Amino acid sequence: MSNLLVIPSIDIKDGKTVRIVQGIPELNCSAYGDDPVEMAMIWRAENSKTIHIVDFDAAHEHSHKNFEIVKKICESVIIPVEYGGGIKNLDDAKEVFDLGVFRIIIGSLAFENESEFLKIISEFGIQKVAAAIDVVDDKVIIRGRSVKTNINVIDYAQHLESLGVCRVIVTDVKTNGMMSGPNINLSNKVAEGTNLKVTLSGGVGGYADLFNIQNERHEKIDSVIIGRALYENKFPCQKIWRVAESGIFN
């Protein structure tokens, strides 16, 4: 089985990096810094191969206020950047790709406007478009994790596959930002029930959780998105990285 790709998440609201707990952004978290661009450069310095961005202003208000920041992130690092938040149509997708992102993550649109979602896939290809599946108690939730549907996660994943999707980001919202351990079983069920590539998101609290994912995951789970545990230095090697980085961005 291939190595597990660790993808740091940069969650942006009002131009700043925020902490996400069960899908809700929390401001004024000193460990997270104010500058998402600097944070991206730190993750790159720590040998990240990909960065995951969530734009909460775009997701909740369809605002483009963070677009210049996203563009600067893409210009500042030489690794792929994937972006999720507020993509409602083909024009939105084009605007985001123009910022320099490698892949877009689409959530509610795929659920609510299938024809527009298919237009985006047709325009950019399945390698450039992934679908987000946010889950509470095995049911899909949408609209910035605020509306719970009655659709079972496996049924929805299978439907996305039938549309041509090849990758999904599976997030157990109850574990998101809690650092209480990932719901490996949820992502395994999606991997077992489909031919989709799966990125697991939510719940990682440190090295032990990462080790458990590596050992318990289905082979189609090839990556994991980590936010809070990385920002709050829950991995022993980060202390070494932090000393090496001090002064880099001053």
Q: How far is CA 232 from the centre of its chain?
A: 18
Q: What six digits make up the tokens of 71?
A: 């563009």
159 vs 99: CA distance, rounded Å? 30
Using CA atoms, how far residue 81 sits from 4, 48, 53, 120, in Å, is: 17, 11, 7, 18
Tell me the H-state helices in 113-152. Answer: 114-124
Task: Tell me what percent of the chain is helix, strand and coil, each rounded to the nearest 5.
Answer: 40, 25, 35
Task: Confirm whether 138 is a catalytic residue.
Answer: no
Burial status of residue 232 (CB atoms within 10 A of its CB: 0-12, 13-18, 19 or more): middle
* Catalytic, out of 134, 172, 209, 222: 134
Task: Confirm whether 11 is a catalytic residue.
Answer: yes
Tell me how crowded residue 19 is: count the other CB atoms within 10 A of its CB: 18
Q: What residues form DSSP beta bridges with 208?
A: none
Using CA atoms, how far residue 93 sits from 118, 133, 173, 200, 219, in Å, is: 12, 18, 25, 23, 30
Q: Which of 161, 226, 225 is nearest to 192 (CA)?
A: 161
Q: How far is CA 145 from the centre of its chain?
A: 13
Question: Which residues are the active-site residues?
Answer: 11, 134
